[in-house]
Each structure stands twice: as C-alpha cells, then as structure tokens.
Amino acid sequence: MARATVQGRLGERLRWRTAEVVGRGSEYAEATTLMLKVPDWPGHLAGQHVDVRLTAEDGYSTQRSYSVASTPEPGYLEITVQSLPDGEVSPYLAHDMAVGDLLELRGPVGGWFVWRPEQEEPVLLVAGGSGLVPLMSMIRARGSSGGRTPFRLLYSLRSPAHGLYTKELREGLPGLDVTYLYTREAPEGAKREPGRIVPSDLVDHGWPAEFAPTCYVCGPTAFAEKASAYLVLLGHSPERVRVERFGGTGE
Amino acid sequence: MIISRGFHGRRPTADRKLPPGQYETTGFPVLSAGPTPRLSAADTELSVTAETGRRHTWRWADLMALPSERPTVDLHCVTKWSKFETRWEGISLDVLLADVETDADHTLVSSHGGYTTNIPLADLLDGKAWVVHTYEGEPLAPEHGGPLRLLVPHLYLWKSAKWLRSIELRDEDEPGFWESAGYHDYGDPWREQRYRGD
Amino acid sequence: MTSEEHLPDDHVDGNALAGPLAEVFTADVTVAQSECAHCGATGPVARLLVYRDAPGLVARCQECGQVVLRYVRTASAAHLDMRGTVTLAFSLAPE
C-alpha cells in the first residue's frame, strides 16, 4: 500500500497539466511575463522551476525549463521569458502566445535553490539579467507571507531599459534593499561606473559574512561563477551560497 | 493532445539527404560533456597502440609531414541536427595506420579530458575516417575539437572524438563514454541507431 | 530563467537534474548528498556542474571535475550511470 502512495505522489509531480495564458505582461522589448492559470496546480516553493511543453498541430513537441516568478499559490503561476535570437521556444512564448492559448507544464522541481518563509537568517540575492526571476519569487513569497527577515538584492543588468519587474522593485518593500549594478549603461548621476560585478559591490551592498546570511546567486554561468566565488572569498560559507546557473551570456 | 496554437518549432525536415529523424542546421552547434581543453598544436602527441602493446606516436610536425586530404562531408549529430558539406583537412587513417601491424577488430579512441568512444577498426579504414586539424580553411577551434579531432562522418558525430589523444587497437570491443550510458554501440545515422537496442 | 542557446564550456548546476531525475527517483535528488568516487568530495547534488549540451546530462564534481553521474533519456528508457558516485545520501522524514 505504501508503495502505491509513493507512486501516486510521483505521478503527480510528473503529470503534465494544461495551463492557459490568462495575461501577458511586457517587461521590456525582449522579455515577457506569462500569467498562467493551472486549475489543479499545487503551488511551488520560491526558487523552483517547471518544465514547459509545447506541441504543434502535427504532434511535434519540445520542452524547456523555466523558473517560476510569482509568489507560491495554488492554481496560478507566472513565468518570465526572455526571447533569444534563433530560439526555438522562447520567441514563441515571449511574442506569439496570446491570452487564451494553452501550453503544458509539470513540476514544480528543485529543492535546493529554494527559500522557505520559516527561514530566519538574512538573505542576499544576487541576480544577473533574467536570473532575477526565481529570486523575485523569493521576494514575493517573503512579502505575501508577511516575512520580516531582511533581504538585500543586487541586480546586475545591462542598462535601465533592461530591467525586469521595474515598477514593483521601485515601489519596494520594507526590509528589502535593492542595488542596481549596470553593466553597460548607467542612468545619469549614478555613482557606480557601468561594469560587471566586482567584490566591492558585494562588500558595499551585501551582508557581512558574520551575519551568516543565505546567499542565492542566479544568472548566466559566467556571472554566477564569478559572484559565488567572490562571496566565498569574502568569507561566506560555501554551504550558504546557493547557485543556479542557467547558461548563455547576457548580463 | 494539448496544442499550443501557432507553435511550429524545429522539426525533422523531408530533405532526401537527411537520415531519418534529422533536421538541417546551417550553424555548427557545440556539444560537450565537460570543459573544453585548451591544447597547443606544438605539444600535440597522437598515439596508436596495437593489441600487442606496440605503441606508435606522432608529434605535430610528424603529422604535418604526412600526405593530407581535404574531405567535404555531411555531419549527423545524434541530438538530431545535420550539417551539410563541411570542409576539412587532415590525414586519412589509412595513411596513419599503414605501418601498424594488427589483427584487432576494435578500437577505443580517447580524448584529452577523459572522453572515449569505440569504433570497429574497419570503419576507420578505406577512406572513411580522418584525423583533422583544419576546418573551412582555418585551424580547428578548441570548441570543435582543435587542435586535432577524429572525423568519421558515416557514423553519428559522437564517434568523431574531439581533442584526440590516442587510438587503442583491441581484440575485444569496449564501450566508450556514451556507448556505456545507453547510446548505440555502432551509431549508423541512416539506420537511426541512436540508443542501445535501436 | 531560460535555457536555450549556450556557449562552449557552458554548464549549469545540479539543480537542472531535478526535473529529469524526478522520473526515476521518488525523492528530490538535488538535495541528496553525493560523494565523488574520484576525490571523495561530498556535497548536495545541486552543486555538481552539469553539462547538458550533449547527448545526455553529464554531472561533474565541483571539486575535481571528474564525472559523477550521467543520465541518458531515450524514447523508452532511462540510463543512469553512477560509477563516479560512492554514495548518495537522502534525508527523509522520520517514519
């Protein structure tokens, strides 16, 4: 009997569910947030990802993995897709999908790169480009659970025109500090010269290692590699530096 | 079946030159199972070891002194892309193995970085395989296997080991890196031998 | 997070194994502690380096770079090669 229970759980996680696009939010030209209604969706943990499957009319199908951007809740989730030139899937999701269209998804998966509201330590989030997506889910989960633990976000992006969730981050939340690290072009009057992340960014805007924060780093491989190495050099315990690399270049 | 309206994707095309299940790409996708070794041509040494234990080695200058060929071939990757009419320059395995005495039927090819693949010796001979150092007129780039890779275009591309280091001639077949993890032992794209049992 | 078009040398983390290995394990593998058969390093599977622009998924030790596990999903089977792993330890809820 116990065996049957396990299989039931497993089946749940692996089952493809039908999701309907109920809204689209434009982040910037290449990035779109898809709002998805999934009637039997169990909810997720902030930081987890889902597999998305697209099937063409002749039966051809392909799948990709996307982090969930929204706060955990049953029946609904959001993913943010950056359209990549020559991509097979991302341009379709970002530009062609309309409200009422269907896709399939399964999950959520991943138990390592997650933040749970019961965590009490301070949190440092380090995002490179669209690596902000799972970290935004953590920020939103903290907000919706009434969390009081202090969060700091360092967000590396190409220019002010390439920001995700711009308005929401500008409005801010009590206990959330946001620092923007522009890599190519900074707004007028910015004190920091545009450039890639350096250790002093983490010293000036992160947490001292003595506070024993949990650090979540997400971004393209080169960015994630660098930022996590700097954190360890600055004395953060490797066990407390959780990394999700998602490949590609970008910012 | 849940259809995503307006989604087309990339699917196998019907071109008659394509093996079953493949689609054509004009790019040259880079696949790798590990970090790309940065090797210098000057330090290159290629070895062939016969089943008797007799070892033959070639330094870069030795290889360059051998007669070279310029094959133009189609590539078929097991991940389903095919690329037509790629132009290479290198040394035919017929030339390389001309003085090697062997009764072996099998080979195990090894790369820098630990990759291996097994190929029947007969598939490396009779003008079917090369050790190549030049692609489209340029020295072969590290991500495509430079300075030296194997080219066995009649088999799926995982058999064309990048960063070639050695070829071992063996009496017994020994599965290589992908062959021991569920891929087909031989890998003929025209018979769609992708996975073990295909 | 998107996952198309990579560069040479591009790898992701063990996090990326969560979805594929959910087909063969009932527990989340990415939080399990793995021990590398080559250098003895231990750590959560989520921290392994995963190369996925390949015919299968190749997870390498974050310390020594050797192959810890390989996963190939064919149309009708899954091959999980773990000869690079000494142990895989899961913490589970008490019975």
Q: Say which of C8, C79, C81 has its CB closest to residue B143.
A: C8
pLDDT tens, residue by residue, B27-63: 899 998 999 999 999 999 999 999 999 999 999 999 9
Rounded to a whole number of angstroms, the CA Rg of chain C reads: 13
Q: What residues in A contact C13, CB-CB < 8 Å?
A: 113, 243-245
pLDDT tens, residue by residue, B140-169: 999 999 999 999 999 999 999 999 999 999
Please provide the CATH number assigned to the domain covering B44-173: 3.90.420.10
Q: Is any Cβ of chain A less than 8 angstroms from the Cβ of B9?
A: yes
C95 occurs within a structural domain: no
Q: How far is CA B76 from the centre of its chain?
A: 10
∠ Cα A215 A217 A218 (to 5°): 150
Question: Is it the case that residue A211 has pLDDT exceeding 80?
Answer: yes
Q: Which residue of C has its CA nearest to A164?
A: C1
pLDDT of residue B144: 95
Q: Which residue has the higher pLDDT, B175 or B25?
A: B175
Chain B neighbours (≥3 Cβ pairs under 8 A) are A, C
Q: Is any Cβ of chain A less than 8 angstroms from the Cβ of C54?
A: no
Contact B32/C8, CB-based, under 8 Å?
yes
Question: Is it the case that residue C17 has pLDDT exceeding 90?
Answer: yes
- pLDDT tier at C3, thresholds 50, 70, 90: very low
Question: Is it the case that residue B10 has pLDDT exceeding 90?
Answer: no
pLDDT of residue B13: 64
3-class state of residue A29 by DSSP:
coil
What six digits make up the tokens of A44?
């997720």
Query: B22, B178, B179, B198: which to substitute to probe chain C, counting the most C Cβ within 10 Å?
Result: B178
Contact A112/C7, CB-based, under 8 Å?
no
pLDDT of residue A247: 61
Q: Across residues A44-49, what is the average pLDDT? A: 95
C72 occurs within a structural domain: yes
Contact A107/C6, CB-based, under 8 Å?
no
- pLDDT tier at A85, thresholds 50, 70, 90: confident
- Residues 202-231 of chain A with CB under 8 A from chain C are 218, 221
pLDDT of residue A1: 32
Chain C neighbours (≥3 Cβ pairs under 8 A) are A, B
One-letter amino acid for residue A241 of the chain? V
pLDDT tens, residue by residue, B77-87: 999 999 999 99
CA dihedral A79, A84, A90, A93 (to 10 degrees): 70
pLDDT of residue B16: 61
Q: Which residue of A has its CA nearest to C8?
A: A248
Provide the number of structural domains found in chain C.
Answer: 1
Handedness of CA A224, A54, A162, A134 (dihedral sign): negative
Q: Is any Cβ of chain A less than 8 angstroms from the Cβ of C33?
A: no
Q: What residues in C contact B29, CB-CB < 8 Å?
A: 53
Q: Looking at CA atoms only, how far is residue A19 from chain B in angstroms?
A: 10
pLDDT of residue A84: 86
Q: Where are the domains of chain B?
A: 44-173
- pLDDT tier at C5, thresholds 50, 70, 90: very low
Q: CA distances (Å), B3 to each of A50, A97, A100, in order?
A: 18, 12, 12
Q: What is the ipTM of this complex?
A: 0.87
Question: Is it the case that residue A218 has pLDDT exceeding 50?
Answer: yes
pLDDT tens, residue by residue, C31-79: 999 999 999 999 999 999 999 989 999 999 999 999 999 999 988 899 9
Q: Where are the domains of chain A?
A: 14-109, 123-245
- Residues 70-89 of chain A with CB under 8 A from chain C are 81-82, 84-89
pLDDT tens, residue by residue, A228-245: 999 999 999 999 999 998
Contact B8/A89, CB-based, under 8 Å?
no
Look at domain A14-109 and name its CATH class: mainly beta
Query: B10, B25, B32, B180: which to substitute to probe chain C, counting the most C Cβ within 10 Å?
Result: B32
The number of residues making up chain B comes to: 198
Q: Which of C49, C70, C52 is nearest to C60 (CA)?
A: C49
Q: What CATH architecture is A123-245?
A: 3-Layer(aba) Sandwich (3.40)
Indicate the DSSP class of residue A139.
Answer: H
What six digits make up the tokens of A218?
């997400």
Q: Looking at CA atoms only, how far is residue C10 from chain B in angstroms?
A: 8
Contact C65/B78, CB-based, under 8 Å?
no
Are B23 and B13 in contact by the 8 Å Cβ rule? The answer is yes
Q: What residues in A contact B6, CB-CB < 8 Å?
A: 92, 96-97, 101
What six digits make up the tokens of C36?
């590398």
Q: Which residue has the higher pLDDT, C95 or A171?
A: A171
Q: Is any Cβ of chain C less than 8 angstroms from the Cβ of A53?
A: no
Q: What residues in C contact B34, CB-CB < 8 Å?
A: 51, 58, 60, 65, 67
- Residues 15-74 of chain C with CB under 8 A from chain B are 51, 53-56, 58, 60, 65-67, 70-72, 74
Handedness of CA B79, B84, B90, B92 (dihedral sign): positive
pLDDT of residue A3: 35
Q: How far is CA C34 from the centre of its chain?
A: 9
Counting one residue from A and one from B, how many pairs have CB atoms under 8 Å apart? 49
Residue C57's domain spans which residues?
Answer: 13-89
Q: Across residues C1-9, what is the average pLDDT? A: 42
pLDDT tens, residue by residue, A113-135: 999 999 999 999 999 999 999 99
Question: Is it the case that residue A250 has pLDDT exceeding 90?
Answer: no
